[in-house]
Amino acid sequence: MTDAAGVGGSGVGGSGATAVLALGSNLGDRLANLRLAVELVGAVAVSGVYETDPVGGPDQDDYLNAVVLVPAAPPRTLLAVARAAEQAARRVRGVRWGPRTLDVDVIASGDVISDDPEVIIPHPRARERAFVLVPWLEVDPDAHLAGVGRVVDVLRGLDASGVRSTPLVLRP
């Protein structure tokens, strides 16, 4: 659970700056998988839930996606938190871009730019993914992708027709 300061559970701690994590699930109880991730990463802000067409990979079911803001932390710390949440949801890494119980991607962390091969920030495909940018703008309308520009401007160049808002919520 997140405490009043916005830092909780096994998530990350920080100084007030935020990082962006994208959540996705298309296996099992998709909503429960996303809710588990929200709790485990220490989210301080949570977007609505979007149903989205799969992008790339084999033929598979639609995803539920959301974006959360968490306290900023070093890239490898964010990656460790993301991987721990995936493991808690029993994610199995098989086919690249294949179906999964939970996918947690580190998208951005303030103005940090990292070329660490383990965790590139900003995420190298974030600018191509409407299923990330649409919910990100919901939780941060002034969002900026380091080295790229304003998220609202990036999104204008994408087809967002496969990103559908749902009435589902991740927090009461």
91 is catalytic: no
29 is catalytic: no
Q: Which string of DSSP letters, residue by residue, matches 21-72? A: EEEEE-SSSHHHHHHHHHHHHT-SEE---EEE---SSSS-PPEEEEEEEEE-
Identify the active-site residue in 35, 103, 127, 129. 103
Identify the active-site residue in 29, 53, 76, 90. 90
Contact 48, 165 (CB under 8 A): yes
Give the pair of three-digit tokens for residue 84: 């721990």
Identify the active-site residue in 30, 35, 91, 105. 105
93 is catalytic: no
116 is catalytic: no
Residues annotated catalytic, as ranges: 90, 100, 103, 105
